[in-house]
Amino acid sequence: MCGIIGCIGHDDETVDVLLNGLSNLEYRGYDSAGIALKQDGIDIRKREGELDELRRSVRRDSDSLAGSFGIGHTRWSTHGPPSDENSHPHSDSLGRVAVVHNGIIENYQAIRDELRSEGIPFTSDTDSEVVPHLIARNLEQGADAEEAVRAAVDRLEGSYALAVIVQGTDKIFATRSDSPLVLGIGDGACYLASDVPAFLDYTRDVVYLDDDEFVTLTEDDWSITDLNGDPVRKTVQTVDWTAEETGKSGYDHFMLKEIFEQPTSLRQCLSGRVDELDRRITVEELDDLGEPDVVQFVACGTSYHAALYGAELLRDAGINARAYLASEYATSPAPVSPETLVVGVTQSGETADTLSALREARNRGADTLALTNVVGSTAARECKHVLYIRAGPEIGVAATKTFSSQLVSLNLLVEHITGRAQVDQSREFLSALRDLPNDLQHVLDESNAREIVDEYADKDAYFFIGRGLNYPVALEGALKFKEITYEHAEGFAAGELKHGPLALVTENTPVFAVVTGDGEQARKTLGNIKEVEARGAPVIVVTDGESEAERYADHVLEIPSVHERTAPMLANVQLQLVSYYMAEQLSRAIDKPRNLAKSVTVE
């Protein structure tokens, strides 16, 4: 989780660059924040709480706080609660070394016990604090700064992205293993960060670092080597995001902005990939993808709900497909063969559980594909194939536009795998894809979600139900609701209510039912609606009107009547708006929900 920033080459502006970078990384963690600046020695400022607490501390010391380079950190707690002591950067006892860390050091306790036996004191509960103490001990034993850092890293087991400054050395050292780290190349300055938005105000030229690569930054140069010190050749890439795209653009929250960006993000996803006249879907990235006998999806959270949708589409097309929670798959993988395709669905491309599952699948001989939003991410680099969802930057912790872009991208993948795009794909479906951005815009313009939430605040719990392709949308609706409202919400396959959850249904448990089309699934869902109505529960239906579900509802969230495969995407937008407006009414921290972070880089 956590966010790392480092910069060198800004002289008097270093503090502002670090704080600005941390502000752009708060979606990765906001339990505490801190910076370390290289002056004659190393000056550290860190505070529990959100970044404003650190800003106030820095403002009080603005006359004395300066440095030609530095590092910073915004924390998502793993070891030890949020506190000033547990905040990063961490230092050795004499203040000669400062370190920021993202990840989990699995052997930290053994190292901590070893160092304590030598009389070295610890001031925090974190796993990260062992790193500066290891480096300091190596310095005392005669190593120079770079040797001391390398030797310390060699002792670590687990996941880490590290940035280090050492007294007496005008360099920043950094390395990574299973945690993201990217280098920014500016005009007379260089940057390090967990994610590109940290330095987009200064440069769009980046180098994506791979595991076990070691970076050295000076005021006028940068170099990358492997852990043995041998040079590594890297390509400088230019990202297509701008600093403006990662701002709020006048919206109260990133989440609302990103909900309303969905028509644009879907157009980006579809651009150049759908030709309605030729009845063809063309995804050039997948030209070398074979025809798998079995498809396994691995994903977490929102991406897992997208994976469920993709697996359902493939099964409907006659392909053996299943979605797995990545955290379960990594430790208990399903059988694979060379004809198995394992698809990692991950917005960031850095989700630790999903990366572990993909690596396990690859080691067992399966073909792998990353369906991700981030060019140059670890998943994109490690998988044999990659399909980008092209959603653009998403800053809000609760995923919105990336989910809808994942669903569209999965439709493209399904068409490619089944071959229908080149043979007998109906003009109706291609037309539906073409019209989807406009249909989604219509939902955004006409939604009455804001008015509905007034009646349903402060209830005991909230249930979301759906069948078929609407089942993943029900799960996602419940997840969004609980993430940002902090209210209890659960999603169910509609038919499962009567197998236990119905015991919880009362007049204080509103039920959101997703009902689209007029087929058997819609008719059976109407039966489930009547079951909860009989127990006094209020019902809110999200519907296209095809099944007359509105006759049985207390409130209706309307969507246009569209293709059965695109209807769930429109229903999802209505549920996103319900969650947002309910959280707004309850005065929740919508962009920074408690205990959560955007990119989950720990297992």
Question: Stretch 535-557: mean pLDDT, rounded?
Answer: 93
Which overall architecture, per CATH, does domain 3-245 show?
A: 4-Layer Sandwich (3.60)
pLDDT of residue 599: 62
Tokens of 386: 């990659």
Asked if the model's pLDDT at residue 485 lies above 60, the reply is: yes
Tokens of 493: 């396959």
Packing angle, helices 401-418 and 301-316, rounded to 10? 30
pLDDT of residue 595: 79
pLDDT of residue 380: 93
pLDDT of residue 142: 95
Instruction: Spell out the domain ranges in the chain.
Output: 3-245, 247-437, 447-603
pLDDT of residue 119: 94
Give catalytic residues, as residue numbers.
Answer: 2, 598
* Tens digits of residue pLDDT in 95-138: 999 999 988 899 999 999 999 999 999 999 899 999 999 999 99
For the whole model, what pTM was predicted?
Answer: 0.80
Tokens of 267: 């157009």
In the chain, count of helices (H) and strands (E)? 17, 26
Cis, peptide link before residue 393, omega less than 30° from 0: no
Q: Which CATH number fits domain 447-603: 3.30.70.990, 3.40.50.10490, 3.40.640.10, 2.40.128.110?
A: 3.40.50.10490
C-beta of residue 197 within 8 angstroms of C-beta of residue 25: yes
Same fold, 247-437 and 447-603: yes
DSSP symbols for 10-36: -GGGHHHHHHHHHHHTGGG--SEEEEE
pLDDT of residue 187: 87
CB atoms within 10 A of CB 503: 9
The torsion angles phi and psi of 416, rounded to 5 degrees, stand at -65, -45
The torsion angles phi and psi of 107, rounded to 5 degrees, stand at -100, 25
The CATH code belonging to domain 247-437 is 3.40.50.10490
Upper half-sphere CA count for residue 468 (Cβ side, 13 Å): 19
Nearest to 299 by CA among 229, 347, 227, 250: 347
> DSSP state, 207?
E
Average pLDDT, whole number, for the chain? 90
**pLDDT > 90: what percent of the chain?**
66
Q: Tell me whether residue 423 is exposed, middle or buried, using C-beta atoms within 10 angstroms of its C-beta: 0 to 12, 13 to 18, 19 or more.
A: exposed
Question: Stretch 437-452: mean pLDDT, rounded?
Answer: 95
Q: How far is residue 90's CA from residue 92's CA, in Å, rounded to a whole number? A: 7
Nearest to 560 by CA among 443, 451, 408: 443
Nearest to 415 by CA among 305, 311, 282: 282
